[in-house]
Amino acid sequence: MNHVTKLSDDLFQSAIKLQASDIHFYPYEQQTEIYFRIHGKRTFNRTILTKQYQLLRTFFKFSANMDIGETRKPQHGSLPWKFESKDYALRISTLPHYQQESIAIRILPQNDSLPLEHLFLFSSQIQQMRRWMNQNSGLILVTGATGSGKSSTLYSLLEMEIKENPCQIISLEDPIERKINQILQVQINEHAGISYQVGLKAALRHDPDILMVGEIRDKQTARFAVEAALTGHLVLSTLHAKNAIGTIFRLKEMGIKTADLHQVLIGIGALRLIPITRKNKQQRSAIGELIDGPFLTQAIEGTLQNLPEKQQFKNLQRKAFAYGFTQTVPPQ
């Protein structure tokens, strides 16, 4: 077991030093390949013997309170980890396939509290989102692909609000990606009967000023989020959608009426991360396709064919290249 612990610590330390967000294991009959996702790109790290991987897999499942004897069904769990005085939450998921049970690990830093100024590339977009938070009620949605910075943006908005306007904030998350003081964070646990619907009902009885719903996944959650906004709460949430206008289509597909969208939607921010260099350090910053006001009204009505030029992803990326930020080939 000491050998397994040493191997796991070495993997996690390597991933942290390389600023990896995920670790992927690809097991085969004799050998297992390990990949890191670094700045959004899947990068080969090393190969270990599958016998070593099997011990490592058992160690991860046991530490994350999974059923180590269950290999036919997907499972997920999490475990805390510390490195160089910093805390991390490791979100572990298993996926059975025809050769071996695969594992993926998402690395969630717990001490990194980044203000919006460090997350977004353009200050005008930061100010736009800050104005959304001045509303007393309504729905703010942050959308984008997995790993595009949705949760980090919501956390930063809430931390900004705590500093500027102390209020009662409740979040419903699956999982809780980062613990924040002065926010009541509720872990969704379907097995224990705590679904988003149950959690939302309970949260509304707790007199919140702001509700954060980790993700709108289905019609019931969408309906509850809209109803909470209609009853005088400021609601922040995420949704998987390709772009800002696509978010409107998703909500309508979930049964949200056009009249309700007009009443509750404050703004939609569809995010994308692009690689930049700041102070000789490589990182990724967000650019947003943000819509509110008249453009949001047109999008809800279905009359907005194209966003204004300054709000299109490609033009924002070109603008970033004009500033000399990115290091990759600009979009055509």
DSSP string, 10-52: HHHHHHHHTTEEEEEEEE-SSEEEEEEEETTEEEEEEEEEHHH
Angstrom distance (rounded) from CA 292 to CA 299: 9
**Residue 198 confidence (pLDDT) above 90:** no
Assign 161 a pLDDT band (cuts: 50, 70, 90).
very high
Q: Do the bridges between strand 184-187 and strand 76-83 make them parallel or antiparallel, or are there none, so unpaired?
A: unpaired
**Residue 309 confidence (pLDDT) above 60:** no
Q: What percent of the chain has pLDDT over 70?
A: 89
3-state helix, strand, coil in the chain (%, to 5): 35, 30, 30
Q: Which residue in the block uniquely carries the two structure tokens 């600023």?
A: 19
Angstrom distance (rounded) from CA 270 to CA 106: 22
Amino acid 331: pLDDT:
38
**Residue 194 confidence (pLDDT) above 80:** yes
Assign 123 a pLDDT band (cuts: 50, 70, 90).
confident
Q: Which carries the bigger pLDDT value, residue 18 or residue 117?
A: 18
Amino acid 297: pLDDT:
94
| Most trustworthy range by pLDDT among 50-64, 99-113, 303-317 | 50-64
- Strands, sheet with 210-213, edge to edge from the N-terminal-most edge strand: 184-187, 169-173, 210-213, 234-239, 138-143, 265-278, 281-292
Region 219-245: what's the mean pLDDT? 92
Structure token pair of residue 222 = 């969408």
Spatial CB neighbours of 91, under 8 Å, sequence gap ≥ 6 = 76, 77, 78, 105, 106, 108, 175, 177
Domain(s) labelled CATH 3.40.50.300 in the chain stretch across: 116-322
Region 156-183: what's the mean pLDDT? 89
Amino acid 77: pLDDT:
87
> How many Cβ atoms from other residues are within 10 Å of residue 250's Cβ?
17
Region 234-261: what's the mean pLDDT? 93
Angstrom distance (rounded) from CA 282 to CA 276: 6
Q: What percent of the chain has pLDDT over 90?
A: 52
Region 172-181: what's the mean pLDDT? 86
Assign 37 a pLDDT band (cuts: 50, 70, 90).
very high
Q: For the domain covering 2-109, report its CATH number.
A: 3.30.450.90
Amino acid 59: pLDDT:
94
> How many Cβ atoms from other residues are within 10 Å of residue 210's Cβ?
23
Region 159-164: what's the mean pLDDT? 91
Amino acid 83: pLDDT:
85
Assign 327 a pLDDT band (cuts: 50, 70, 90).
very low
Residues, the chain: 332
Spatial CB neighbours of 193, under 8 Å, sequence gap ≥ 6 = none
Amino acid 229: pLDDT:
95
- Residue type at 214? G
Helix (H, G, I), strand (E, B) or coil at 82: strand
When mean pLDDT is compared across 127-141, 145-159, 229-243, 311-325, the lowest value belongs to: 311-325
Helix (H, G, I), strand (E, B) or coil at 327: coil
The CATH homologous superfamily to which domain 116-322 belongs is P-loop containing nucleotide triphosphate hydrolases (3.40.50.300)
Amino acid 332: pLDDT:
33
Domain(s) labelled CATH 3.30.450.90 in the chain stretch across: 2-109
Q: Which carries the bigger pLDDT value, residue 331 or residue 195?
A: 195
pTM above 0.85, yes or no: no
Assign 135 a pLDDT band (cuts: 50, 70, 90).
very high
**Residue 183 confidence (pLDDT) above 90:** yes
Region 44-55: what's the mean pLDDT? 95
**Residue 80 confidence (pLDDT) above 50:** yes
Angstrom distance (rounded) from CA 68 to CA 79: 15
Q: What mean pLDDT value characterizes the chain?
A: 86
**Residue 1 confidence (pLDDT) above 80:** no
Q: Are 132 and 190 in contact (CB under 8 A)?
A: no
